[in-house]
Structure 1
Amino acid sequence: MILRSIETIIRMLDADFIEYKDMTRMVSGVCIDSRKCTQGNLYIPIIGAHFDGHDFAAQAIEQGAVAVLWQKDHPHPPQGAAVILVDDTQQALSELAKKYRESLDLVMIGITGSNGKTSTKDILCSLLKRKYVTQKTHGNMNNEIGVPLTLLGLSDATQVAIVEMGMENRYEIDALTRLVQPDIAVITNVGEAHLENLGSIENIARAKAEIVHGLKENGVLLFNGEQDVLKLALWQEELPRGTTVKSFGHDERQDLFSYGDVTQDAGGISFHCNLLAQPASMNVYGKHQVMNALPCIYIARALGMSEAQILEGLADIEQTGLRCDLVALGAGYVLDDSYKSNRQSVLAALDTLCEFDIPRRIAILSDMLDMGDQAVRIHYDVGKALGRYPIDRVCTYGEMSRFIAQGAINAGVKDVTHYETKEALQEAVLEELDAPCILLVKGSRGMQMDSIVTYLKERRNRQHE
């Protein structure tokens, strides 16, 4: 959004500039892709491993950009727009986002965690928009580029902002939370994602705990109290003065907890929560979603929302795609959970799969990336765990998923096949949809398992034309 004048942006960055004829002109929006620039934008050229955004500044101006950040070590600044000179364009993007965030009068909520942060963001937005002008991170814009762009996309009219923060290494959450400056911070959980970079679950927990570094005084910290490793990581942090700390989980030791009666059907899940007098229903799948809902209900209550508004929001959640999306195909269903994968999320997806009262269940599993030196063991352990589930067929694809297949065979699963190509796998499972069944498709984003879902949709639709 950033409806600020060029002159104001220069002051926010304390930057040098090349004189322009109309410094009072308003900037409406920030863009880092010259092809997507629109009238009134500020273009910020980012330097990547294989490209330099400075090379496309002229195109951005042709598209309508009225101002351009320009790194001082680059020659030949463009003409036709205000040129704001900075030492480093990516640093300037972060600094501008920080200053802009500080100019906004709103409640800022920051969310991080190994699993569930996107679902938590979606649930929370569904609740809060019933009462407040609410904006949230779009898609997966949760890194050092996406978070500043999310902040700069907030409107002056926004009352509550929900910002998702991801990481691959230590101190990345530290940097992001200092930009976001949350009034409320949520840590959904700690899992094995990015184990390759961080080396241990303890280091992952410490990286997630960095969210408190940007938490405002008298803020609120909500965290998964069922994980001792996370409790220890937070215990080692110095919390801002006046922080209210609440844990959530499924047992009564927590400050916030759900208690039983969690059920799932084709319409979604239902549950009881001690924060609500009535049972709640959500139009999402997976009993693990109750854990994601708990901090959202608490926040909604803390911000003065009624139970009726909360129940309405829970019943109508608009989820980010590829996360336990249930698609009816042929005589069966596909449960598309192909956005990410690690041991915890695979087991949660298998739980969800087996909660459907459908006569035949097929698990299609691919590699869990970024598992580091423990990758073979983790994949094998997931395969062994398959022996505990009432699953009729297991199909695997990917180099590491060979070990899932081997673990499943050793656990006594009868029908296990490893496929060398996606094409062979998707052809093999297509005929399953001729009879009542449900297929779970699960894998890390880099494995692009959503292409299997796309193939199955296209083939089934073509058969019925």
Structure 2
Amino acid sequence: MEKLTLKEIEVAIKGKIIQKGTEEEFYNVSIDTRNLKDGDIYLAIRGENFNGNDYVVEAMNKGAKLCIVDEVKFECSDIKEDVSVLLVKNTRKAILDLARYYRETLDIKVVGITGSTGKTSTKDLTAAVLGSKYKVFKTKGNFNNEIGLPLMIFSLDRSYDIAVLEMGMSNEGEIHNLAYAAKPDIALITNVGISHIENLGTRENILKAKMEITDFFNENNVLIINCDNDMLSTVKEKDYKIVKIGTENELNYKARGIISNEDSVKFQLKEDNTCDLVQYVINMPGKHNVLNGMLAIACGKELGLSVEEIQRGLLNVEATSMRLEVIKSEKLTIINDCYNASPDSMFAALDVLKNCNGNKKIAILGTMKELGNEAKNAHFKVGEYAKECGVDLLICIGDNSEDYKLGFAQNSDSMVFDDKDEAIKYLENFISLGDVVLVKASRSMKFEHIVNKLIEYK
């Protein structure tokens, strides 16, 4: 983080100084006393199970020189003379306000990415493409919410040309707040599915929530959307530029001749108003990554990259772990996709399994969360698609396992287990040399435990 002064911070977050210390300049923001460094700003965030205001004295003792609080839970006599304390109405709002102010001090382009699925892969692809010409920062891990995204913004400095920031949500208004803080110059929307439909009610509401990424757009901004998605294809012209990609109809970028390999995809791309077909190769598996890659290509074009620079970037992509990560162990090929689960990402993962070379094809699937009334049908359809993809054995763990099994077909090879260890014991007697195993579930199910056991399989 570049320097911020106490006065800048006070104005940016509309804070009230209740103690003024001796430090005037700050270079880092922390919300966790365990990671504090000497001279840091400590921003006391309230969570469901904790209150950061309880740890102000601890933060000060560990070196914080500015504490931002929304509740005074300390004695003034406990505060050291060199520490400043700012009081605000709400620290969760303050972190967004401070991130927005800091973002505006930097001469940097921001690319914001949202969507029901594919955000992280698209982030990785976009950062790889842009990285062939510019110095690029990209969101680390799952720092894509109203606390994580500001922390990513504070990680920026003036050495970066572009920031590629992932924006997640589970309810309306959240993308609006992220867009407020990040002020993206270019926004990419991967798709609109049924993730979080339990909270939002309809896909129309999900589309509306995703479109909040454009709430601060003007005629200088660009929105890039995947028009193979039925909901995104309904987006009308706006007072900012819209770039449309896909494989159907007449679009700004249209893919043809898609070839899926075990660890990559190849396709030809036709750009609007040209007759030329340009061939691209993405070193990530899955047909869905053609669409994700096209979003990245369109973004690269908007930022002045040549075809050669884009091609070089796509070949150097570094994928985030546990996102369709293909692992070759001594005995097996393991597709580790344990980070999240939704119907669209399940279909994409099963496509990758289908295209992997091997003997038996085994899918270990866990529950897809936050689907509300759609849960039963969604799990059934995934089971049905697993059968279409030639899965030899379907193992189901968690809620809605019976729906997976019904979709897969009652008399087919499918097993339901109560927990991961039971499934692992069964697998030890079933798998053999050369099998391919897909492991996928929502993050909370921690299926990486299964992946680690499979890697150890002798």
TM over 0.5: yes
Task: Find out whether 1:270 has 2:266 as its counterpart.
Answer: yes
CA contact (8 A) 1:7 1:23 kept: no
Match of 1:151 among 153, 169, 173: 153
- Alignment partners' CA distance in 1, 2:13 and 2:369: 39
Which amino acid in the other structure matches residue 54 of structure 1?
N
Which amino acid in the other structure matches residue 6 of structure 1?
L
Task: Find out whether 1:430 has 2:432 as its counterpart.
Answer: no
Q: 1:158 to 1:399 in 2, by over 3 A?
A: same
Deviation at 1:274, TM superposition (A): 2.4
Deviation at 1:44, TM superposition (A): 0.3
Which amino acid in the other structure matches residue 407 of structure 1?
G
Task: Find out whether 1:61 has 2:60 as its counterpart.
Answer: yes
Deviation at 1:399, TM superposition (A): 2.1
User: Secondary structure in 2 aligned to 1:222?
Assistant: strand
Deviation at 1:390, TM superposition (A): 1.3
CA contact (8 A) 2:56 2:74 kept: no
- Alignment partners' CA distance in 2, 1:215 and 1:426: 50
Q: Tell me the alpha carbon deviations over residues 339-384 of structure 1, each in whole angstroms, 9 at most, x when there is no partner.
A: 1111111111111100112222111111111110121122122222
- Alignment partners' CA distance in 2, 1:136 and 1:192: 26
CA contact (8 A) 1:18 1:83 kept: yes
**Structure 2 equivalent of residue 39 of structure 1:** 38
Show the 5 A alignment for 1:107-118. Answer: 107-118=109-120
**Structure 1 equivalent of residue 454 of structure 2:** 456
User: Secondary structure in 2 aligned to 1:382?
Assistant: helix
Task: Find out whether 1:197 has 2:199 as its counterpart.
Answer: yes
**Structure 1 equivalent of residue 248 of structure 2:** 251
> Percent same amino acid among aligned pairs?
32
User: Secondary structure in 2 aligned to 1:162?
Assistant: strand
User: Secondary structure in 1 aligned to 2:358?
Assistant: coil
- Alignment partners' CA distance in 2, 1:418 and 1:330: 27
Show the 5 A alignment for 1:350-429. Answer: 350-410=350-410, 414-429=412-427
Deviation at 1:387, TM superposition (A): 2.7
User: Secondary structure in 2 aligned to 1:208?
Assistant: helix
User: Secondary structure in 2 aligned to 1:417?
Assistant: strand
User: Secondary structure in 2 aligned to 1:170?
Assistant: coil
Which amino acid in the other structure matches residue 144 of structure 1?
E
Deviation at 1:270, TM superposition (A): 2.3
Match of 2:189 among 171, 187, 190: 187
Q: 1:12 to 1:2 in 2, by over 3 A?
A: farther
CA contact (8 A) 2:53 2:71 kept: no
TM-score after normalising by structure 2: 0.93
User: Secondary structure in 2 aligned to 1:272?
Assistant: strand
Deviation at 1:216, TM superposition (A): 4.0
CA contact (8 A) 1:264 1:287 kept: no
Match of 1:96 among 95, 98, 101: 98
Q: 1:21 to 1:403 in 2, by over 3 A?
A: closer
Q: Which moved more, 1:290-299 or 1:256-265?
A: 256-265
Match of 1:82 among 74, 81, 84: 84
Which amino acid in the other structure matches residue 248 of structure 1?
I
CA contact (8 A) 1:331 1:433 kept: no
Which amino acid in the other structure matches residue 342 of structure 1?
S
Deviation at 1:8, TM superposition (A): 2.6
Q: 1:22 to 1:293 in 2, by over 3 A?
A: same
Match of 1:443 among 441, 450, 454: 441
- Alignment partners' CA distance in 1, 2:233 and 2:278: 31
Q: Tell me the alpha carbon deviations over residues 301-354 of structure 1, each in whole angstroms, 9 at most, x when there is no partner.
A: 222223222222111211111110011123221101111111111111111100
CA contact (8 A) 1:180 1:214 kept: no
- Alignment partners' CA distance in 2, 1:399 and 1:181: 39
CA contact (8 A) 1:179 1:214 kept: no
**Structure 2 equivalent of residue 305 of structure 1:** 305
**Structure 2 equivalent of residue 347 of structure 1:** 347
Number of paired residues? 451
Q: Tell me the alpha carbon deviations over residues 60-97 of structure 1, each in whole angstroms, 9 at most, x when there is no partner.
A: 22332221112255453552322122222111111111
Which amino acid in the other structure matches residue 272 of structure 1?
Q
Q: Which moved more, 1:341-350 or 1:254-263?
A: 254-263
Q: 1:262 to 1:76 in 2, by over 3 A?
A: farther
Deviation at 1:439, TM superposition (A): 0.1
TM-score after normalising by structure 1: 0.92
Q: Which moved more, 1:184-193 or 1:222-231?
A: 222-231
Which amino acid in the other structure matches residue 441 of structure 1?
V
Deviation at 1:300, TM superposition (A): 1.2
- Alignment partners' CA distance in 1, 2:15 and 2:373: 46
Q: 1:432 to 1:83 in 2, by over 3 A?
A: same
- Alignment partners' CA distance in 1, 2:115 and 2:258: 26
Q: Which moved more, 1:10-19 or 1:307-316?
A: 10-19
Deviation at 1:385, TM superposition (A): 2.5
- Alignment partners' CA distance in 1, 2:254 and 2:403: 36
Deviation at 1:145, TM superposition (A): 0.8
- Alignment partners' CA distance in 1, 2:393 and 2:20: 66
Q: Which moved more, 1:280-289 or 1:360-369?
A: 280-289
Q: 1:23 to 1:298 in 2, by over 3 A?
A: same
Q: Which moved more, 1:34-43 or 1:59-68?
A: 59-68
Gaps of 5+ in 2: none
Deviation at 1:6, TM superposition (A): 2.5
Which amino acid in the other structure matches residue 270 of structure 1?
K
Q: 1:302 to 1:330 in 2, by over 3 A?
A: same
**Structure 2 equivalent of residue 319 of structure 1:** 319
**Structure 2 equivalent of residue 28 of structure 1:** 27
CA contact (8 A) 1:209 1:230 kept: no
Deviation at 1:2, TM superposition (A): 3.8
**Structure 2 equivalent of residue 220 of structure 1:** 222
Deviation at 1:436, TM superposition (A): 0.7
- Alignment partners' CA distance in 2, 1:6 and 1:172: 28
Deviation at 1:190, TM superposition (A): 0.5
CA contact (8 A) 1:256 1:274 kept: yes
Deviation at 1:53, TM superposition (A): 0.9
- Alignment partners' CA distance in 2, 1:426 and 1:246: 46
CA contact (8 A) 1:364 1:439 kept: yes
Which amino acid in the other structure matches residue 58 of structure 1?
V
User: Secondary structure in 1 aligned to 2:323?
Assistant: coil
